[in-house]
Amino acid sequence: MDANFLTRRRFLKTIGLSVALLARPRIGFGASRDRRRPNILYIMSDDHAAHAISAYGSRLAKVAPTPNIDRLAKEGILLENVFCTNSICTPSRATILTGQYSQTNGVLDLGGHLDPENQHLPRLMKQAGYTTAMIGKWHLKKEPAAFEYYCVLPGQGKYFNPVLRKKGKPWPKNEVKYTGHSSDVITDRSLEWLKGRDKTRPFFLMHHFKAPHDMFENAPRFDSFLEDVDVPEPESLWRQPTYGSEATKGMGTSISPRNHRRNMGKHMKVDPSLPYKEYTHQAYQRYLKRYLRCVKGVDENVGRLLEYLEQEGIFDNTIIMYTSDQGMMLGEHDYIDKRWMYEESLRMPFLVRYPKMIKAGGRSDEIINTPDCAPTSLELAGARTPDYMQGRSFAPVLAGKTPPDWPKSTYYRYWMHMAHHDNPAHFGVRTRHFKLIFFYARNYKPRGPKPTQPGWELYDMKNDPHEMNNIYSDPKYAKVVKELKVELLRLRKKYKETDENYPNIQKVIDEYWDK
């Protein structure tokens, strides 16, 4: 018996799965064994911020409740500190599918892709005896061939009457057109697959909504939702006393007319002759209403999936996870979009229901990152996490048995300097108490957008959760800064996220490290 076997045996015991499962050969599983192993339904939406889920509690919880997603929190666990390591669609999905940080999986930005041989999670789940499917938004360009079945949107896909590429004919010509709103269509496809699946094996289904990604279009039945409501605004939309640094002054796409090139008012066709305050107010209201109507459609469709599992009698034997590929700025600091290491963009929702292992109504503030997702699914399936994965399974956290050496910090990096939404490139470290961000403000490609002013920011997340005060230069925090820089270097080394291959970035790191 190797050490891995013993660790897994101890863990499976704690979650109530039979130890005998592991003693059997890893191939040729009997049907009786597979009926006892849990199914895994991994539901992921696109750009769904945790603070737009009522279970997380926020200014939006009252006006835009999400009862079906909340049910997972009520009957399962809500994770408060799940962060992405690269807050943008394609790279974040790559970290989830590979269990690796961006430089290791090679997907640094939206131009990246994931070849079938690097689609580790579905390949390993299949090897573990699972029937696997990927349905909905994929966004990793290459054929999701490591899944037994797939039916995915090409690229971003369309909100209405979407075309989906379906397993069968050769990729990418295997397109089929469907009628309806994408959230409904994707759920219909998942239900179709679930009903016709190979029931002798447990399933692993990745069900990915396109909503509530930008160019928000809701199903017509939600047109009047929030019509007469004034959506609460974040304080930081209007007042940011000592927020930000030289590096971020004037950056980022705004709600208000502040960013002339790109702002939500322009996007939502607000009358440009309106005074600043009224323009900003209208832009925010239109943005949030459209976004929350898309969320409503996601929540309703989550309800359809839960209902199916109940009817099929497999509700309690299915581990149901709900998450997003990152967070989203919903007007905080007068920002839209993601990309930032600021909290609303960095934090992801993560809720899990599995009554055989998880106590109802639980909450955990353990620090988790996207590369931890693949090892977690593998462990829950009774499979080993290979050494080439850098993440760590948080299945013990779900079971309320966090190991004493669980990480106390997490690493973040955004590469796409000044692309699309005018965000300078940056990296940083987040602990439960503090967040340190270094805006190195350079593109990693020699011909990218011009460098901007580098700078450091430090936020006290306990006493200033909305990040209103950058305390980097406050002498009271000199020791904290020093310690966090040591930790940041440690994480960069550990996850192979250093800049040896990017001398233009290393130069500015060296120059500004002690400033």
Which residues of this chain interact with Ca ion, rule CB under 5 A? 46-47, 89, 325
ω into residue 355 within 30 of 0, thus cis? Answer: no
For the CB of residue 277, give the shortest distance to Ca ion in the complex, in Å: 30
Inter-axis angle of helices 276-312 and 67-75, nearest 10: 60
Residue 47 or 148: the one with the smaller Cβ distance to Ca ion is 47
Residue 46 or 344: the one with the smaller Cβ distance to Ca ion is 46
For the CB of residue 48, give the shortest distance to Ca ion in the complex, in Å: 9
CA 57/CA 82 separation, integer angstroms: 16
For the CB of residue 91, give the shortest distance to Ca ion in the complex, in Å: 10
For the CB of residue 15, give the shortest distance to Ca ion in the complex, in Å: 31
Query: Hey, what are 229's tokens?
Result: 């409501």
Residue 8 or 93: the one with the smaller Cβ distance to Ca ion is 93
Query: Hey, what are 464's tokens?
Result: 């200033």
Count CB neighbours of 241 within 10 A: 8
CA 336/CA 324 separation, integer angstroms: 17
Residue 214 or 460: the one with the smaller Cβ distance to Ca ion is 214
CA 430/CA 361 separation, integer angstroms: 26
Q: How many CA atoms lie within 13 A of 260 on its CB side?
A: 0
Residue 44 or 319: the one with the smaller Cβ distance to Ca ion is 44
For the CB of residue 87, give the shortest distance to Ca ion in the complex, in Å: 8
Which residue, judged by CB position, is nearest to Ca ion in the bound state? Answer: 89
For the CB of residue 456, give the shortest distance to Ca ion in the complex, in Å: 27
Q: Are 100 and 85 in contact (CB under 8 A)?
A: no
CA 456/CA 185 separation, integer angstroms: 45
Q: Are 318 and 324 in contact (CB under 8 A)?
A: no
Residue 92 or 364: the one with the smaller Cβ distance to Ca ion is 92
CA 239/CA 247 separation, integer angstroms: 19
Q: Are 299 and 20 in contact (CB under 8 A)?
A: no
For the CB of residue 512, give the shortest distance to Ca ion in the complex, in Å: 30
For the CB of residue 498, give the shortest distance to Ca ion in the complex, in Å: 26
CA 115/CA 241 separation, integer angstroms: 46
Phi, psi of 265 (to 5 degrees): -60, -45
Amino acid at 52: A
For the CB of residue 89, give the shortest distance to Ca ion in the complex, in Å: 4
Q: Are 295 and 48 in contact (CB under 8 A)?
A: yes
Name the strand (E) or helix (H) holding 94.
helix 89-98
